[in-house]
Structure 1
Amino acid sequence: MATFAESYDEKAATAADARKALGANLALISALEQHDNRWRARLELREPARGRSLGTRVVDVPVTEPFAFADSLYHGALALLRLPAGAHTAESDLGVRGAGTLRFLMQGVGRRRAAPSADDRRRAIEDFDTACRTEPGAATPRMWLASAELGQYVATKDSSWLARAEASARAAVSLDGGRAGPHRTLASVLGYRKRHAEALAEYERACALDPTDDEAWHLWGRTWLRLGKPEEERKVYEAAIARRPHCYKPRWWLAAWYFYNRHFGEAKQAYREMIRCAPDLATGYASLGGLLVLDGEYDRALDTLRLAATLRPTAVSYVNLGTAYFNSGRLDQSVEAYNQAFQFGEANYHLWYDLGEAYFWLRGRPDQARDAYRQALRVGREEIAARAQRGISVDPMIPANLATLLPKLGEPDTARIMLADALAADSLNAMVQYCAALTCWQLGERDRALDWLRRAVAGGYPVVWLRDSPVHREWRGNPRFDSLLAGAPSKSGTAPSPGK
């Protein structure tokens, strides 16, 4: 199930767009018109995979009856989906009773979703404020006003907007504490105020009132993480799965939790469960494929990642494809995959770095590699400078990765400076430690390189990559390096799958 907001953010204009972006296997499409003081809507249920229509409904209501129009849309959609109609009405769901209030509320929602400028954000706030004044006892306009004020704080960093947002959110909860939305909005405001313990209670209440509120469940879990209690975060996601076992999103969150906490076996199983719930969503296949690459299961990874790219081509899928080809020695495919990643993502420093590595180690073309490395260095330095200008903390992986390519460009002193910056930022990061090993090896500091490599492996760097990557050709035969390889699992076949 995907919300309107998700389809709006993904700019899904057709059923095919919904399948590609959201993995939808059914799409409810609406066309709304106003003619001769009447509202007319056409609803169509489509099956994106086959491109066929499963049914239509037409709604025709006078413009003076907006709630009747909303009720008709609701019942028409349920009829198409063959779902039972509940006792809900548009008035109770929307949380307002007056037609004028509804006009300003919906107008504000529309402006807030577009919100391309400060003026649009201001006008949305004015609309919500007007809705609050036309119906002072309604919680929903207050909730939307609080959300818009919070958005204004995020955009301007003016703390007065945060104070106003909290006051509006608390007013919404006071007016109707039986709605999930006001509790979720108040929790978001409290999160920005760093009052995470208070936010937890509001998220929990929101989830109890509306178990289908994915945003509230996810933010409830993430708030536990901000309090330094990752096990409690996991329990939230497991509770969401138990409450809604057919939904893929909680399984996605749990899979990501397992991955970031280095429980890779459990992560793979969780991604498989996610795929079972959302078989047309590329994200599950792309994530599972990346984990299979980590485990050295390159053939399975390639099959899975190709499927992800077929459903929705992304830079992540093609980078993971490139790495699978790289580690299994398939030079042409590796270069092609890394190159194709540029088609679907920004030309960031890491894409240039990966392409340079493929040229350097697999094709023996140091001239082409150097060109890619120089681009990686330029873009990486620009990103470091941009983060510093915005006051964002250093990403240690940028100087760590750049340090590994600088010796190949004949800049050993700059490599040492970059490596020192990376280690100063996060010397306990296994990926930073691995980059330190690569840099020191190229600088001729072999013992120091092996010390860093041992620490990286102890921290979780995949031993199968040491075994398979062409980067380590000249390391092999070193007793200390070979002893690290002893912990690698037996090598899986790397020949292309039958029929490939």
Structure 2
Amino acid sequence: MNQPRKTYLLENYSLVPDEQLLSRSGQPIHLPKKPFQVLTYLVEHRERFVSRAELLDRFWDGKDVYDDALRKCVGAVRKALDDQSDHARFIETRWGVGYRYIGPIEEQVVRDETTITEIEKTRGVRIVVEEEEIQHEPAAVERPGIDFSPAPALSLPAPKRHTKTVALVLITLAVAIGAIGLVSYRRRPAVIAIHPAQIRSVAVLPLRNLSNDPESEYFSDGITENLINTLSRIEGLKVISHGSVFAFKGKEIDPREVREKLGVGALLEGSVLKSGERVRINVRLVSTEDGEVLWASDTYERAIGDIFVVQDKITRSVAAGLRIQLSGEGERRLAKRYTDSVEAYEAYLKGRYFLNKRTPDGIAKAIEYFRRAIEIDPNYALAYAGLADGYDKVYWFIRLPPEEVMPKEREAATRALELDDSLAEAHVALATVYGNGWDLSNAARENERAIEISPGNAESHHNYAYCLVHLDRPDEGIAEIKRARELDPLNVVMNVDVGEVLLYARRYDEAIEALNHAIGMDANRANAHYDLAQAYEQKGMDGEAVEEYLRNEVLDGESQETIAALKAGYAASGLRGFWLKKLEVARERSKRSFTLSIIPARLYARLGDRDRAFDWLEKSYAEHLPTLVDLKVDPMFDDLRSDPRYIDLLRRVGLQA
């Protein structure tokens, strides 16, 4: 009896899924089991991109391999089809999305006219092929023919014509095995691999937003950040911060690359699909040493109201996968919730999403969402901490006068701490308020408390580093800023600030090395070039210094006319001529727009005009500018340090002379 058989014609290739047969112009092409399965799956789902996670879950069961196996698999398919990834004819790769079959195709359904003997010969070959492993397979090549004789080691007789009954049994057995496999796949439970050693470091990679709706990006990013912050509460666990892990967003990654760049033993990755009032989350914990999946979740598909339960399950499972034994206090920290309102939580996530953009429009939207979260839940301490952070960014990024924003920042931070003294973010917010108000001792205390609560909070270590340097404890400050960088190694801001702290500590050679490294990461950071110029100037390297100062001006958006004037000033009388022109530009600008009084103060100090420098410093003091905490460490003020007026100003600001 003839059986219907589906055949795909891919240009001059023929793909027969039921026989696991790929041929070209009638000549069979050897392709191992996994690549054949992947090719067939892509062909059968050619109307869409198929994600890496979907292929890994379907064909590797999501627990024993990683993306490297998939890349080799797709590479074997391309080799068999003589397809080049840079000029793809059959398989298209879209980074961060997946793979799709794009080649010509003609689908045929035919009846098999071969004899039972021929069917069995084909099956005999297929059994051998299925047992091959791709990692032992050389590059796929066309074969002139296939030897249908049995392998000698099996000691099997030559193939004979069998009865239809035997054929039927084989078919029934194959179907049964397939059905068992299907049931096993569909019912696959969460898996935890047995790993011999405890892992003390992890990176939570940005969860993929599967909704194809950019408006839902806040949710996937917010869940990612929540997992980072929650895991950071585990004592002794190094958790990479937001700034570094989001450098991997939307990119194809290899766990070994993550290990190399972030210095972690494991990574957590997955996806989020938010649709109306439902949310679906898939995550897995992967060893960066060998790509082994240490833990893979069931699909968490719940009502949006259960999001807190899902997050709690994930963090506990990750801790178990890392083989971390939690203390009673550790358990309580992981289980802690900051609101029971999903609506308030979503507003908070949107606030964080927009605040991370660091744009005036983004900061304004963030403040609106934090306020909305507080309206929904007036006891939401985390939202108050976010609001305080938002007001702080208003000062630094929008440049509003401090008297307009600092009182609001203080009010929000204080309220956050009143509601929850055990909230690290609240202590960070209050530390920032104290620092902006020149109260460095209390700022240091609050940062220490934040670090005690959440040892893996990079922002706490970063802010504490500056407190320590301003408090004349440079070695401790350097240790803290390096710890912050360790927790956030790909964050350019963190790398620039390592250089700046070294500059303030007067370790110029190390500062130059660190700042050049940061510029290598992102050459468009204006302040990195400015700090590097200062380090060069302190070492008497005037030519190198003015080059970096000019790069800073270009990146800050200065006009070509101004750049030419600064160059002319330097050509006429060296760095002094450069600074004189810079002062002239600052004067003209102050007539048209708000200018921080610290700017002319620094320029006059650099040019040796002490009286005018102190006039402007007194204005900065009267305006209570937060930047006055830099008085002791900013190299621009070095020529003032012996002046009694400077010593008196340090005393009034609260800095020991």
Aligned counterpart in structure 2 of residue 296 of structure 1, from 464, 467, 472: 472
CA contact (8 A) 1:335 1:355 kept: yes
Q: CA deviation at 1:239?
A: 3.5
Aligned counterpart in structure 2 of residue 335 of structure 1, from 512, 516, 523: 512
Q: Distance in 1 between matches of 2:342 and 2:583?
A: 60
Aligned counterpart in structure 2 of residue 19 of structure 1, from 214, 232, 239: 239
**Structure 2: stretches of 5+ with no match in the other structure:** 1-203, 207-218, 246-263, 274-278, 318-330, 395-399
Match of 2:502 in 1: 325
Cα deviations by residue, 1:258-285 (Å, 9 ceiling, x for unpaired): 3334433332222222222221121111
Q: How many residues align?
A: 362
Provide TM-score, normalisation by structure 2: 0.42
CA contact (8 A) 2:602 2:637 kept: no
- The amino acid of 2:443's aligned partner reads A
Q: Distance in 2 between matches of 1:29 and 1:484?
A: 52
CA gap of 1:326–1:191, structure 2 versus 1, over 3 A, is: closer
CA gap of 1:447–1:67, structure 2 versus 1, over 3 A, is: closer
Match of 2:616 in 1: 452
Cα deviations by residue, 1:338-389 (Å, 9 ceiling, x for unpaired): 2222244452332212111111112x2112112212222322344899xxxx
Q: Distance in 2 between matches of 1:426 and 1:376?
A: 20
Match of 1:359 in 2: 536
Cα deviations by residue, 1:240-260 (Å, 9 ceiling, x for unpaired): 334444432233333333333
Q: Which has the higher strand share?
A: 2
Q: Distance in 2 between matches of 1:380 and 1:431?
A: 18
| Paired residue secondary structure (2:472) | coil
RMSD between aligned residues = 5.9
CA contact (8 A) 1:258 1:267 kept: yes
Match of 1:254 in 2: 430
Aligned counterpart in structure 2 of residue 218 of structure 1, from 371, 380, 386: 386
Match of 1:350 in 2: 527
Aligned counterpart in structure 2 of residue 284 of structure 1, from 460, 463, 477: 460
Q: Distance in 2 between matches of 1:482 and 1:223?
A: 32
CA gap of 1:434–1:55, structure 2 versus 1, over 3 A, is: same
Q: CA deviation at 1:9?
A: 7.8
Q: Distance in 2 between matches of 1:328 and 1:76?
A: 42
Q: CA deviation at 1:308?
A: 0.9
Q: Distance in 1 between matches of 2:518 and 2:429?
A: 25
CA gap of 1:346–1:6, structure 2 versus 1, over 3 A, is: farther
Aligned counterpart in structure 1 of residue 599 of structure 2, from 432, 437, 445: 432
Q: Choose 1 or 2 for highest CA Rg.
A: 2
Q: Does 1:374 align with 2:538?
A: no
Q: Distance in 1 between matches of 2:625 and 2:439?
A: 10
CA contact (8 A) 1:204 1:220 kept: no
- The amino acid of 2:581's aligned partner reads T
CA gap of 1:74–1:340, structure 2 versus 1, over 3 A, is: same
Q: Which has the higher helix share?
A: 1
CA gap of 1:191–1:73, structure 2 versus 1, over 3 A, is: closer
Match of 1:206 in 2: 376
Q: Distance in 2 between matches of 1:71 and 1:464?
A: 46
- The amino acid of 1:438's aligned partner reads A
Structure possessing the higher relative contact order (Cα contacts under 8 Å, 6 or more residues apart): 2
Q: Distance in 1 between matches of 2:453 and 2:271?
A: 29
Q: Distance in 1 between matches of 2:280 and 2:618?
A: 68
- The amino acid of 2:582's aligned partner reads A
Aligned counterpart in structure 2 of residue 417 of structure 1, from 576, 584, 606: 584
CA gap of 1:70–1:27, structure 2 versus 1, over 3 A, is: farther
Q: Distance in 1 between matches of 2:510 and 2:367?
A: 49
CA contact (8 A) 1:44 1:55 kept: yes
- The amino acid of 1:21's aligned partner reads S
Cα deviations by residue, 1:7-59 (Å, 9 ceiling, x for unpaired): 558999xx9999212499998755799xxxxx99865568999x998865535
CA gap of 1:298–1:265, structure 2 versus 1, over 3 A, is: same
Q: Distance in 1 between matches of 2:576 and 2:366?
A: 49
Q: Distance in 2 between matches of 1:18 and 1:234?
A: 30
Aligned counterpart in structure 2 of residue 58 of structure 1, from 293, 298, 301: 298
